[in-house]
Amino acid sequence: MKIKYFFGALIAENLWIIVVNMLKNVESLKNAEKPARTSFRLRGLEVFPNTILSPMDGVTDAPFRRLCRVLSGNRMGLLVSEFVPTDGDAVFNLEGHKQLRFFPEERPFGVQIFGRFPDKMADAARKIAVALKPDYIEVNAGCPAPKVAGKGSGSGLLRDLPRLQEILHDVRAALDGCGVEMPLTLKCRIGWDSESINVLETLAIAEGEGVEMLTVHGRTRLQGYNGLADWDWIGKVAAVAKIPVIGNGDVNSVEVARERIENYGVSGVAIGRGAMHNPWIFGQIADAWEGKPKRVITAGEALDVFRLYYGFKIEDGSTDKGAEGRLKQLAARLCKGFCLDGAVSGSEGATSGMDGADDVAMQVRQTLLSSSCAAELLDRAQSLKEGLAKDLVFDPGRLVNLNGAKETELKFGDQFKGR
Ligand SMILES: Cc1cc2nc3c(=O)[nH]c(=O)nc-3n(C[C@H](O)[C@H](O)[C@H](O)COP(=O)(O)O)c2cc1C
């Protein structure tokens, strides 16, 4: 009788394990679902997956871009330079702009320029195309910073569409005459403020002037980075566009990327702050589009990233101090995602508040941030891997708020009102 009971229990337990594993597999498959569209074309280039690392001045330099590309297993759509100013130089000088540096493995790679003078923009575009031969050149009509937009460049161009048209026209003509095949793209916001949304007019001008891809950040200039991007406007643009429209704003996970592509009809998504907090995001999207199940990133893996990033920084000519600063910025962001495996968001029994691991994650963070130099940080990262952080994993799902890295609540309203 006892033996019968024992075998009965064993079978029941195994059955239970089988059922749990089946459910887990269903969950993994759900994660691996891909949207109807996983790639798009930019002239002769098939861009798979349909993701772009959105340019971020002071963040997406060549080392950070290379880091994202390596962590994605070389499965990112497009990389773009930080924006390159053209107004300042009397004559545009390639040597004067460190943002123009890129490595062959970053391709397909675009250079983004900004300015308010059509002749200067055209001169810069021609020189960049001839000397550097990037895969495309992009005009910025999105930067909201008062020192840029307030002077009429970046999103300031959205208040002066005839000037934007002249710039696109002259840049296109300069590229046509330079002897190098060079697609022209545009990145814009939906308008200057909520009273003057003109992104459909911007699209019409762009298409008329030979722009071959439009990235739309779904905020107004006045909004800055506050609130949430308005994807309804992005969807309206995508619905009527003849060129690929890339949606941008608040994409921070595979699930959001999939939902945006499906529901708003965009050709792809550009990801900025989501990648600052989770440089694996492009690989995770590629995995899902390729039908692979979701993979857990261990804290050990995350801690290994510092050595890689440091190497790229030094190779790019950074000082040790400069590299240390960037390593600490990355450490502060990544540590926010550390938790125990069972606490991964979306998993069964996940806890959203303080678990014991939050304290450990905090200690890991402090250990890294209190390093006195880059070498010490790298040594500490190594010891943490085998010690304090051994049982932690990196869960980007815990980093939901992109609207100000230090904030836990979203800020609404116009960030740049009166400026
Ligand atoms: C620190 C920072 C710097 C940025 N620099 C640029 C830039 O040089 N060129 C550009 O087109 N957009 C720039 N942006 C805007 C981003 O590319 C992106 O459009 C915006 O952050 C919204 O996307 P996200 O929600 O995925 O971050 C910057 C954003 C941030 C946060």
Determine the distance separating the centroid of ligand 1 and the alpha carbon of 54, expressed in angstroms.
6
Tell me the pLDDT tens digit for each residue of 229-279. 999 999 999 999 999 999 999 999 999 999 999 999 999 999 999 999 999
Last residue of a domain, one of 263, 289, 315: 289
Same-domain check for residues 102 and 224: yes
282 in the same domain as 301: no
Q: Is residue 417 part of a domain?
A: no
Domain assignment present for 411: no
Instruction: Indicate the pLDDT class of residue 24, thresholds 50, 70 and 90.
Output: very low
Q: Is residue 406 part of a domain?
A: no
pLDDT > 50? residue 31: yes
* Amino acid (one-letter) located at 316: D
| Co-location of 269 and 310 in the same domain | no
Residue 372 has phi, psi (to 5 degrees) of -90, -15
Among 51, 54, 83, say which to mutate for ligand 1: greatest number of ligand atoms within 8 Å of CB: 54
329-354 average pLDDT score = 71
What is the C-alpha to C-alpha distance for residues 79 and 342, in angstroms, rounded to an integer?
34
Residue nearest to atom 2 of ligand 1 (CA): 56
* Domain residue limits at 5: 1-31
Q: Are residues 27 and 71 in the same domain?
A: no
CA torsion 339-345-346-352 (nearest 10°) is 110
Q: What percent of the chain has pLDDT over 70?
A: 86
Looking at the structure of the chain, the number of domains it has is 3
In terms of domains, do 149 and 235 share one?
yes
- 205 pLDDT band (50/70/90 cuts)? very high
In a domain, 408, yes or no: no
95 and 17 within one domain: no
Residues annotated as part of the active site: 143
pLDDT band at 397 (very low <50, low <70, confident <90, very high): confident
Residues 339 and 358 in one domain: yes
CATH code at 131? Answer: 3.20.20.70
* Structural domain contains residue 129: yes
d(CA 139, CA 172): 11
* Same domain membership, residue 318 and residue 352: yes
92 & 217 share domain: yes
Q: Which two tokens stand for residue 161?
A: 């569409």
- For the cut 80, the answer to whether the pLDDT of residue 20 exceeds it is no
Mean pLDDT score across all residues of the chain: 89
**Domain end position, chosen among 236, 265, 289:** 289
Both tokens assigned to 366: 């402090």
Q: CA-CA distance, 76 to 63, in Å (whole number)?
A: 15
DSSP states along 135-200: SEEEEEE----HHHHTTTSGGGGGG-HHHHHHHHHHHHHHHHTTTS---EEEEEEEESSTT-B-HH
Residue 353 pLDDT greater than 60, yes or no: no
Nearest-CA residue for ligand 1 atom 4 is 56
Q: Is the CB of 145 under 6 A from ligand 1?
A: no
Is residue 250 located within the same domain as residue 302? Answer: no
Whether residue 302 sits in one domain with residue 282: no
For residue 139 and ligand 1, the question of a CB distance below 6 A is answered with no
Distance 19 CA to ligand 1 centre (A): 44
* pLDDT at position 349 over 50: no
Judgement on whether residues 89 and 115 belong to the same structural domain of the protein: yes
Q: How many helices (H) and strands (E) does the chain have?
A: 14, 14
Angle between helices 62-71 and 299-315 (to 10 degrees): 140
**Is 123 inside a domain boundary?**
yes
3-state secondary structure of 78: strand
Two structure tokens written together for 138: 């992009």
Residue 167 inside a domain? The answer is yes
Give a yes or no: residue 419 inside a domain: no
